[in-house]
Amino acid sequence: MRNARRLILASIALVLPSCIDLRGPQPSGIEAYNAYDRPAARPINPSAVRVKVSTSRQRVYVMEGDKPLLVMPVSVGMPTTPTPLGDFRVTRKNAKQRSPDLGYATSGEKTKRSTRAKKPAGWSFKGSPLPYWVEFRPNYGFHTGWIKHTPCTDGSIRMHKNVAPKFFEIVSLGTPVSIATTQPEDAPYGSIPLPPDGGPLPDHPASYYLSDAPFSDHKPLSFE
């Protein structure tokens, strides 16, 4: 009986080390969100690049022919303010875009969310940052923003801050953009790791959005 018990304990000792995660503690919450990234490749022929958006999957596929250059999760418009469906082209790019209408009203040390039209008299206004803006229709574009697991935007398409600069570099003025409820690429490429839902995570203070920090708050740009 003692020999049998010793054999069992020895077997357990051999098995346990293989179950230990040698990577150490893994990031979670805001740390995991900030660490999130997606691989990307530069195109061989920039004129062959196509952008496909699947609103039901909240995915963007940047394709060069049949090759995916970048597959990323995004946030699209809410049912009340949907992302427009159809075929478009990139018409404008601005890495340091700010909203002309939505943002912050300030007066001395006082700050509050506001629209330009509704800011109190005598207060100044500064638009919310829309880093790596890529416009495909007037007032609609791709830009950096919190990624949530359910549609949450006013119709524009939000990208993760570490992935947005790659998208911005790959696409060009005139790049076709196809937006549909589903895309053929959903099945072969749509199942990708996601960042934590940005909704429950702590937001930045207003001072962050009033500064230039959002335009550089991302990992260094890298391609495969």
pLDDT score at 27: 65
Q: What is the pLDDT of residue 26?
A: 57
Measure CA of the first residue to CA of the last residue in the chain; give whole Å: 59
> Per residue of the chain (224 residues), what is the pLDDT tens digit?
444 444 443 443 333 333 334 445 556 699 999 999 999 999 999 999 999 999 999 999 999 999 999 999 999 999 999 999 999 999 999 999 999 999 999 999 999 999 999 999 999 999 999 999 999 999 999 999 999 999 999 999 999 999 999 999 999 999 999 999 999 999 999 999 999 999 999 999 999 999 999 999 999 999 99
* H or E element, residue 6: helix 2-19
Contact criterion met (CB below 8 Å) for 101 and 60? no
Task: Return the pLDDT at 25.
Answer: 54
Q: Is 30 helix (H, G, I), strand (E, B) or coil?
A: helix
35-101+128-206: CATH topology = L,D-transpeptidase catalytic domain-like (2.40.440)
pTM: 0.87
Position 150 scores a pLDDT of 97
Structure tokens at 72: 């990323």
Cβ atoms within 10 Å, residue 50: 15
Do β-strands 176-180 and 49-54 pair in parallel, antiparallel, or remain unpaired? Answer: parallel
* Max CA separation in the chain (angstroms): 88
The DSSP call for residue 33 is H
